Amino acid sequence: MKHFKRSNTYKASNVSYNVDEKAAHSYDWWLFTKEYKGLMVFNNHNYSPTTNRHQSKVQSLMITLGHNIDLFLDTRLSLFNIEDAIKDHIESKKSEIQALITKIHTKGTRKAKNKERRSQVLELISNVRHVQSILNK
């Protein structure tokens, strides 16, 4: 990514990262990094192959610049209204939890697969609690 000193922004084709604001945009409209309550939030939702490349470029750049990512979200929403994006992430994870629990209780499922699913449920519950605690700060 090319650095533009005057605006302190790095740019590549259809992706930009403003160092001062710690904000990254894909196609100048979809905001996928933002600082919130002193934490660096990164939306790594699999939106499209192109946006995934943009996210990868920015994440590599952030690592190079020493900008630590404190919270990864997976939401289809832009981070312009970050609280709505966080709530969407939480609801999405709750839906994943419910789908896994349904599969666990489906008759004829394998014990090994259900053990893996239970582990995924615990990880998702932990993530939801962590993200909710940030939202409620």
Instruction: Please write the tens of the pLDDT for every residue from 101-116.
Output: 999 998 888 989 999 9
- Neighbouring C-beta atoms of residue 87, cutoff 10 Å: 16
Question: Looking at the whole model, is its pTM more than 0.85?
Answer: yes
Q: What is the overall mean pLDDT for the chain? A: 94
Give residue-wise pLDDT tens across range 38-77.
999 999 998 889 989 999 999 999 999 999 999 999 999 9
Q: What share of the chain is helix, strand, coil (3-state, %, to 5)?
A: 50, 20, 30
